[in-house]
């Protein structure tokens, strides 16, 4: 298996060269309808191909949401495979948003699906859920290291329901979310210029100064745009860790489709606003 340069190093370079913007590929039914597309495999393929064509050559990261492809069965997964491959060929890093989480051989199989270099769905990184215990992610951590890929671990998510788990306090007095951040800091210790094991931390959460976000790894930050957060909020939310934030925008860009030029303009605007906010902090 060919081993890539570590994901963290590749991501740092892409963020420095292209800006840190991540654009989601979220072909849910309402967006397909807004684009004048049918809610079927043909509409899915047209939508995904258009997004890749518009922005894969200019943004650091594209993040397809696997569920919106899986709902069409094997033909939808085939569209996802093609989208991942074409986006990577155009120079974007691909984070597949699948939020996989399991134990033992099952977690290993999920990891092989997305993180083995020869897998049809091989992605530069994968979102994973640690809520069967952080140690359950070991097969994914090990394979990511082996292949030069990365992980984004759900730590402090923006959905209101997440708090009942992530803000729960352990016997040692530390919250579950803070514990996940500490595990990631340990994974990334000594890595330069950036570790490959990141956290998902919502951009809508407000002041997070009570958490140690200095994990020496990337922070994937959903919530910019339609969910209410703005690029100007990033320094306040992430503080000293803001340079390692990968803000994710989906509808804020995608609603401008299906016109390729309008999608590019929207992505460029968000990228410029994010770069200004990050560099000014």
List active site positions. Answer: 99
Q: Which residues have a Cβ under 8 Å from the Cβ of 160 and sit 6 or more positions away?
A: none
Q: In what helix (H) or strand (E) does residue 59 lie, and over which residues does it extend?
A: none
How far is the C-alpha of 19 from the C-alpha of 26, rounded, in Å?
21
CA-based max dimension of the chain: 53
Q: Which residues, 6 or more positions from 223, have their beta carbon under 8 angstroms from its beta carbon?
A: 158, 202, 203, 204, 229, 248
Please list the residues that pair with 128 across neighbouring strands: 100, 153
Phi, psi of 191, deg, nearest 5:
-80, 140
Contacts of 279 (CB under 8 A, 6+ apart): none
In sequence order, the β-bridge partners of residue 229 are 224
Q: What is the rounded distance in angstroms from the CA atom of residue 177 to the CA atom of residue 24?
A: 24
Query: What sign results for the dihedral spanned by CA atoms 159, 27, 66, 3?
Result: negative
H or E element that contains 202: none
Q: Residue 67: phi, psi to the nearest 5?
A: -60, -35
Cis geometry, peptide bond prior to residue 276 (ω within 30 degrees of 0): no
């Amino acid at each position: 298996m060919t081993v890539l340069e570590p994901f963290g190093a590749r991501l740092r370079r892409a963020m420095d060269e292209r800006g840190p913007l991540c654009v989601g590929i979220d072909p849910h039914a309402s967006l397909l309808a807004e684009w004048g597309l049918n809610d079927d495999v043909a509409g899915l393929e047209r939508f995904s191909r258009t997004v890749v064509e518009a922005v894969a050559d200019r943004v650091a990261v594209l993040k397809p949401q696997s569920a919106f492809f899986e709902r069409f069965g094997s033909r939808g997964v085939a569209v996802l495979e093609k989208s991942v491959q074409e986006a990577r060929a155009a120079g974007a890093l691909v984070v597949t948003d699948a939020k996989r989480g399991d134990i033992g051989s099952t977690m290993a199989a999920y990891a092989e699906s997305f993180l083995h270099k020869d897998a049809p769905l091989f992605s530069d990184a994968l979102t994973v859920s640690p809520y069967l215990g952080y140690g359950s992610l070991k097969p994914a951590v090990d394979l990511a290291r082996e292949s030069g890929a990365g992980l984004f671990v759900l730590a402090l998510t923006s959905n209101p329901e997440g708090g009942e788990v992530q803000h729960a306090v352990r016997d040692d007095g530390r919250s579950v979310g803070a514990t996940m951040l500490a595990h990631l800091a340990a994974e990334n210790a000594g890595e330069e210029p950036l570790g490959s094991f990141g956290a998902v931390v919502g951009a809508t959460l407000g002041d997070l100064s009570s958490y140690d976000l200095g994990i020496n790894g990337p922070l994937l930050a959903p919530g910019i745009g339609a969910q209410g957060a703005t690029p100007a909020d990033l320094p306040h939310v992430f503080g000293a860790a803001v340079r390692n934030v990968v803000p994710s925008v989906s509808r804020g860009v995608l609603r401008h489709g299906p016109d390729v030029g309008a999608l590019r303009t929207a992505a460029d605007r968000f990228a410029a606003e994010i770069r200004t906010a990050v560099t000014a902090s």
